């Protein structure tokens, strides 16, 4: 008897990417012994294909059960996940930057309110204009830049009332020449982003010509597929200054660390979260959590009991956009990733338990978790027109509001000039009196 078996094996992580394999084979057997061998073979395949329950259940959420068909739950079978594989020298430099950076401002009024208030659900996603499926770094190791640039997107809206998506391609094509062993796809830290933007001084909208993300299939050692000169930098937003700051979370009580992160989020500022996992086993568990569990399931980081392995350990950076502690048994941080979407993660989000060791440290590396943000100061100038407006399409509410505010400022300036002219001529026309000024004032405003 001949049994023809064809099955799909789940992805296995090798280096920077998952490989999807199709296993086709035939087993020639006879009788009962042959049937038993086939059953054993199929059992082994099912074990390989079973994504275990690697995350705890969140409030009112049903995780994907063990043994469920992943193709019915998500599209992880066609997705590649990229992490950073820094050297000892790289991580040493990054940690030195972290320790040397100034501390983030902690608002004392907010801090007292956090201590006395009950549970809350806060998210800054409303300050962003993004398409989850397009927020996909692919094989490029520039997660650090995705998370950092998103902080600037939030700051644009909270500070200037401008909701716009910023170009990741502009960074990739310009950072360290856009090629080689030290360009954007090779990894970096939040301070690397601040150095880049403090030199360029401009933020380029995603909607500019050739500024959309196009290097999804590039990696360290290759080069950008988009020349820097081909990206339109007009229009753009102008930065006065940018500084990376650390949020105090290490070597303190858990409640204080949580309150500090909440404080920064409560100020309307996004938080850059960099984390390291020590070995391949830990990363495989996280990949399965991301690929096979829905967004409502909470990831609970383990204690740092294992030594860090520089060969198959690694790091990743994401954007913390909020938190939910309304259920005291399951409080969590809300994280926006740069790995695109799955069917179970349509918004590209995952949740991280607040109940974690914020001072967790690996032997051979140092701290596992790094919480940072950006102090950004923008030029308060007229915002650029969006691509739709340049093509004669309808403008956004924020753009209409900004234009109205500019017209009011222009009217005020014109009014001041008129009043000054009236004052200078008051002696020549005493009969006109204050009513003349009122009439001029009314007519000066469009």
pLDDT for 391-416, tens place per residue? 444 445 555 556 666 666 766 666 66
What is the structure's pLDDT at 63?
A: 56
Report residue 327 as tokens.
Answer: 């259920």
Contact 369, 360 (CB under 8 A): yes
Count of positions (residues) in the chain: 446
pTM: 0.72
Report residue 254 as tokens.
Answer: 């858990």
Phi, psi of 108 (to 5 degrees): -65, -35
Q: Which of 51-65, 87-101, 411-425 tops mean pLDDT?
A: 87-101
User: Parallel, antiparallel, or unpaired: how do β-strands 349-353 and 298-299 relate?
Assistant: parallel
Scanning 185-277, the segments in alpha helix (DSSP H) are 190-200, 254-266
385: pLDDT strictly greater than 80: no
| Distance, CA of 362 to CA of 383 (rounded, Å) | 46
What is the structure's pLDDT at 111?
A: 86
Element (H, E) at 44: helix 31-49
Mean pLDDT for 364-393 is 75
Contact 231, 243 (CB under 8 A): no
- Residues contacting residue 61 through CB under 8 Å, at least 6 positions apart: 294, 296, 297
What is the structure's pLDDT at 68?
A: 45
Nearest in space to 76 (alpha carbons), one of 88, 84, 68 = 68
Nearest in space to 164 (alpha carbons), one of 154, 173, 174, 175 = 154
What is the structure's pLDDT at 418?
A: 59
DSSP class per residue in 76-120: GGG-----B---HHHHHHHHHHHHHSPBPP--HHHHHHHHH----
Report residue 251 as tokens.
Answer: 């070597």
SS3 for 48?
helix
**Lowest-confidence region among 307-316, 350-359, 414-423:** 414-423
What is the structure's pLDDT at 119?
A: 87
**Lowest-confidence region among 27-41, 73-87, 337-351, 361-375:** 27-41
What is the structure's pLDDT at 315?
A: 97
Bridge partners of residue 17, in order along the sequence: 14
What is the structure's pLDDT at 122?
A: 94
SS3 for 313?
coil
**Lowest-confidence region among 31-35, 126-130, 344-348, 374-378:** 31-35
pLDDT for 73-110, tens place per residue? 333 333 459 999 999 999 999 999 999 999 999 999 99
**Lowest-confidence region among 97-101, 228-232, 309-313, 417-421:** 417-421
Which residue pairs from 208-212 have beta carbons closer than 8 angstroms and sit at least 24 positions apart in sequence? 208/167, 208/232, 208/233, 208/234, 208/235, 208/236, 208/387, 210/169, 211/167, 211/169, 211/170, 212/134, 212/167, 212/169
**Lowest-confidence region among 167-181, 193-207, 302-316, 431-445:** 431-445
pLDDT averaged over every residue in the chain: 78
Mean pLDDT for 189-203 is 97
């Amino acid at each position: 008897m001949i049994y023809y078996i064809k099955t799909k094996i789940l992805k296995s992580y090798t280096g920077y990417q998952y490989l999807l394999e199709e296993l086709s084979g035939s087993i020639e057997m006879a009788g009962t012994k042959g049937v038993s061998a086939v059953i054993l073979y199929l059992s082994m395949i099912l074990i390989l294909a079973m994504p275990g329950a690697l995350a705890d259940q969140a409030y009112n959420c049903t995780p994907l059960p063990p043994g469920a068909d992943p193709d019915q739950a998500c599209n992880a079978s066609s997705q590649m996940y990229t992490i950073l594989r820094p050297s000892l020298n790289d991580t040493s430099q990054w940690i030195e930057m972290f320790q040397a950076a100034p501390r983030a401002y902690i608002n004392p009024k907010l801090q007292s309110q956090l201590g006395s208030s009950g549970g809350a659900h806060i998210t800054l996603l409303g300050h962003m204009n993004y398409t989850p499926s397009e927020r996909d770094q692919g094989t490029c190791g520039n997660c650090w830049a995705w998370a950092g640039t998103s902080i600037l997107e939030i700051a644009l809206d909270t500070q200037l009332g401008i909701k716009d998506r910023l170009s990741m391609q502009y960074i990739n094509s310009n950072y360290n020449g856009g090629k080689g062993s030290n360009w954007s796809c090779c990894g970096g830290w939040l301070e690397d982003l601040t150095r880049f933007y403090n030199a360029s001084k401009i933020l380029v909208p995603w909607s500019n010509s050739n500024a959309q993300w196009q290097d999804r299939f590039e990696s360290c050692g290759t080069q950008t597929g988009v020349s820097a000169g081909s990206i339109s930098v007009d229009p753009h937003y102008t930065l006065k200054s940018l500084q990376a700051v650390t949020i105090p979370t290490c070597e303190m009580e858990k409640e204080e660390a949580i309150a500090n992160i909440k404080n920064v989020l409560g100020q309307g500022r996004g938080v850059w979260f960099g984390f390291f996992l020590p070995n391949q086993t830990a990363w495989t568990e996280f990949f399965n959590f991301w690929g096979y569990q829905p967004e409502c399931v909470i990831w609970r980081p383990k204690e740092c009991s294992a030594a860090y392995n520089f060969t198959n350990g690694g790091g990743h950076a994401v954007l913390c956009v909020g938190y939910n502690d309304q259920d005291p048994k399951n409080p969590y941080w809300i994280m926006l990733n740069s790995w695109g979407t799955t069917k179970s993660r349509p918004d590209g989000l995952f949740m991280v338990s607040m109940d974690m060791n914020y001072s967790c440290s690996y032997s051979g590396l140092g701290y596992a978790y790094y919480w940072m943000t950006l102090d950004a100061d923008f030029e308060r100038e007229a915002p650029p027109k969006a691509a739709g407006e340049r093509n004669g399409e309808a403008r956004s509410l924020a753009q209409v509001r900004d234009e109205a505010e500019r017209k009011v400022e222009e009217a005020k300036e014109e009014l001041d000039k008129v009043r000054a002219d009236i004052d200078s001529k008051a002696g020549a026309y005493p009969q006109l009196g204050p009513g003349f000024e009122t009439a001029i004032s009314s007519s000066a405003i469009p």
